[in-house]
Structure 1
Amino acid sequence: MLAGTTAGVAYVVADDVKAPYAQAAATVQSNGTIHNAKGIESVKRINPGEYCINFADADLKVSKSILQATANSTNRIIQVTWGSGHGCGSAQNTAKVNTTNENGTKADSWFTISVH
């Protein structure tokens, strides 16, 4: 997979992940860099512990999908939100991942996310 960053936004050039039952999936590093991905247009770390995910399929409605996310760093709690007001725009194919430490303070974390 080829990946890169432009102005703080990580993007994927090619999908090479084998995830036949997921519409989209990614492993994201704590700085927002995409490590592996399928169906992800971009990831942007907007603040510590806050990441905007833009899914490649413009017709994907995250509000009608099952999103699953897992924090891959020690002592991190993860939350996924979508819709207007979440800080990542109002497009139907975007979601926001928030990660915090055990005290509830926003903190960066590696994470995985999948859309079913």
Structure 2
Amino acid sequence: MLKSKKSRYVALSTAGVVLAGAAAGAAYAVVDNVKAPHTQAAATVRANGVVQNAKNIKSARRINPGEYCVTFSDTNLRVSRSILQATANMSNRILDVTWGNDYGCGSAQNVVKVVATNHNGVKADSWFTVSVH
């Protein structure tokens, strides 16, 4: 229990900043926790845009329902000249991976946009795995 009003104010302010960041689709720092010797980069991303497992991932974020931006750590990685693989980790989801445009993710050469839709073609949140070979 927080004893002083100042302590309660600081704690509530900090909680508000954290919640505001999550609601705004903030990108969070990612720690490499996967050994994949034949993969340049890979990530398992939760439906809320938080990375669960990663190798050479700078950030991931959910920008809209069913839309995610994944930024790879290597700024020299050209996704347009790589083999990309994306797999939905939820049933009844179809993924589309694009790059090189500015549909909410920018046009950097090391960024991809992942769009998940349901069987009716409506954008829907989904866990997914994306990798670069």
State the secondary structure of the residue aligned to 2:29: strand
CA shift at 1:74, angstroms? 1.4
Tell whether 2:28 aligns with 1:10.
yes
Provide the TM-score with structure 2 as the length reference: 0.79
Q: CA RMSD of the aligned region, Å?
A: 1.5
CA shift at 1:6, angstroms? 8.7
Instruction: Write the distance in 1 (CA, Å) between the matches of 2:107 and 2:71.
Output: 11
Provide the TM-score with structure 1 as the length reference: 0.91
**What is residue 66 of structure 2 aligned with on the other side?**
49
Aligned AA (2:74):
D
How many corresponding residue pairs? 111
Aligned AA (1:33):
V
Which has the larger share of helix?
2
Equivalence map 1:1-116=2 (5 Å): 7=21, 8-12=26-30, 14-116=31-133
- Runs of 4+ more than 3 Å apart: none
Instruction: Write the distance in 2 (CA, Å) between the matches of 1:51 and 1:11.
Output: 15
1:111–1:52: structure 2 CA closer, same or farther, 3 Å change rule?
Answer: same
Contact 1:25 1:115 in 2 (8 A): yes
Instruction: Write the distance in 2 (CA, Å) between the matches of 1:10 and 1:66.
Output: 25
Single out whichever of 36-45 and 86-95 deviates more from structure 2.
Answer: 86-95
Which has the larger share of strand?
1
Aligned AA (2:66):
G
CA shift at 1:9, angstroms? 1.4
Deviations 1:34-87 (A, max 9, x none): 000001000010000000011000000000000000001110000100002332
Q: Which has the larger radius of gyration?
A: 2
Unaligned 5+ residue runs, structure 1?
none
Contact 1:32 1:44 in 2 (8 A): yes
